[in-house]
Structure 1
Amino acid sequence: MSFFEENSPEMDRYLETHASAEPEMLKRLRKETFQKTTQPHMISGYQQGRLLSIISKMLQPKNILEVGTFTGYATLCMAEGLAKDGKITTLDVNEELAYLPKRYFAESEFSSQIDFRIQNALEYLKKTDEIFDLVFIDADKENYVEYFKLIKPHLKSGSVVLFDNVLWYGKVLEENPKQQSTKSIKELNDLVAKDEDFENLILPLRDGVNMLRRR
């Protein structure tokens, strides 16, 4: 099997069987995402969700930013590790789908700590003075470089940033990519690797997660 092919169903079952259990509410959200959205593959899913949960629990962040809410699965996973007085701000531009994450956020034990906004993330980052302990970016790939540049002033030493889909189905290996999204992801990965203010590692989980820690 090629490195960039999806895991086989048998391997996925093995990985999930040998990982911490997915909370029941997230199981329902995942099922409903596949039933009611046209691109359910955009959900973080079981394995990535448990990674986000564990990272958040290790950091116990007071301030989380998520760019790209989709149906709120990753939001709820990261909320599991929030400090008692912490909050997570999650941004998306899809008003039509907003009803779904809103419903699950309201049901969640973290409802009072989740600030869900229909707002352009680039504009938000240009205006906010917030400092974030944990950032998860899973949105328009064409703007990944801009997100990286804008988020950097809002980090402190020890802050962790995760960019999703940074292997882009293996397209990052193309020498002269035609897709702008591929070009942007390649540029992001190059910028991060050369930036001495960060230490990073690309995790080959699903479609690749670039995990950065601010020095």
Structure 2
Amino acid sequence: MIEVNKALEDYILGHSENEDQVLKDLNRETHVKMLRPRMLSGHLQGKFLKMICQMQNPKRVLEIGTYTGYSAISMAMGTSSDCEIHTIDCNDELESFTRKFFKQSGCEERIKFHIGEALDIIPKLKGEFDLVFIDADKRQYTEYYEAIMPLLKKGGFILADDVLWDGKVLEDIDPNDKQTQGILDFNKHVQDDERVENLMLPIRHGLMMIRKK
């Protein structure tokens, strides 16, 4: 497998569709104003999410882990005007920053922004979802997965980010490292789940594609 260094990443980005201006502005402001800006999905993953939406044409999307809104906007840009996108984040301090970019994107009316704990909010959501994107607390990935499974349509997809966790999944982990253990538990849980078919991709920090049978 080819190691993606900075030069190769630049080549990949140079031969992919240009970043939308509102996403470019969001990327820049997140890196200037926010702690842990590496949590942002970024150009390559954003385009991947957009194209997945264009291929699937979902009518209802759920995102767990909004952060500053890059992935939610990317998915909104890949969906039709009648698609409803629900996104959940527990950090209310990011709300005004994120809503500003939702508005600038022109997708504000279709994005339903929920502030609070995902495991409290998910059971209150009505209706089924065609697509779910998980990118939140790694310690709770398996709990998110089980909470959303009843709401996921047959043939629907879950995309889970960070499943390679910077390669830590291959290392001896500290017993106190609950984040890495959470990823390891989730990956095994999905692999053993006969309700789904799954594919792990080395995109960014690892992306798991999961289809409900």
**Pairwise same-fold verdict (TM > 0.5):** yes
Tell me, which stretches of 5 or more residues in structure 1 are unaligned? Answer: none
- TM-fit CA distance, 1:177: 4.9
1:93 corresponds to which residue? 90
Where 1:212 maps in the other structure, the secondary structure is: strand
Give the letter aligned to residue 116 of structure 2: Q
Give the Cα–Cα distance (whole angstroms) in 2 for the partners of residues 184 and 126 of structure 1: 22
Answer whether contact 2:60 2:128 (CA < 8 A) is retained.
Answer: yes
2:20 corresponds to which residue? 23
Where 1:52 maps in the other structure, the secondary structure is: helix
Give the Cα–Cα distance (whole angstroms) in 2 for the partners of residues 69 and 176 of structure 1: 28
1:180 corresponds to which residue? 178
Give the letter aligned to residue 134 of structure 1: L
Answer whether contact 2:91 2:116 (CA < 8 A) is retained.
Answer: no
| Between 166-175 and 198-207, the greater mean CA deviation after superposition | 166-175
Where 1:206 maps in the other structure, the secondary structure is: coil
- TM-fit CA distance, 1:93: 1.2
1:69-88 counterparts in 2 under 5 A?
Answer: 69-88=66-85
| Between 170-179 and 110-119, the greater mean CA deviation after superposition | 170-179
Answer whether contact 1:61 1:81 (CA < 8 A) is retained.
Answer: no
- TM-fit CA distance, 1:176: 5.6
Give the letter aligned to residue 132 of structure 1: F
Q: Provide Cα deviations, 1:116-163, integer angstroms capped at 9, x if missing partner.
A: 121210011223232111111100000001011111101112211011
Tell me, which stretches of 5 or more residues in structure 2 are unaligned? Answer: none
Where 1:98 maps in the other structure, the secondary structure is: helix
Question: Which of residues 102, 106, 112 in structure 1 aligns to 2:103?
Answer: 106
2:189 corresponds to which residue? 191
The total of aligned residue pairs comes to 212
1:41 corresponds to which residue? 38
- TM-fit CA distance, 1:175: 5.2
Q: TM-score, normalised by structure 2?
A: 0.94
Q: TM-score, normalised by structure 1?
A: 0.93
Give the letter aligned to residue 24 of structure 2: K
1:193-212 counterparts in 2 under 5 A?
Answer: 193-212=191-210
Answer whether contact 2:122 2:148 (CA < 8 A) is retained.
Answer: yes
- CA separation of 1:51 and 1:2: change in aligned 2, threshold 3 A: closer
- TM-fit CA distance, 1:2: 9.3
Q: Provide Cα deviations, 1:57-96, integer angstroms capped at 9, x if missing partner.
A: 1111110001111110000000012232111011111111
Give the Cα–Cα distance (whole angstroms) in 2 for the partners of residues 111 and 180 of structure 1: 35
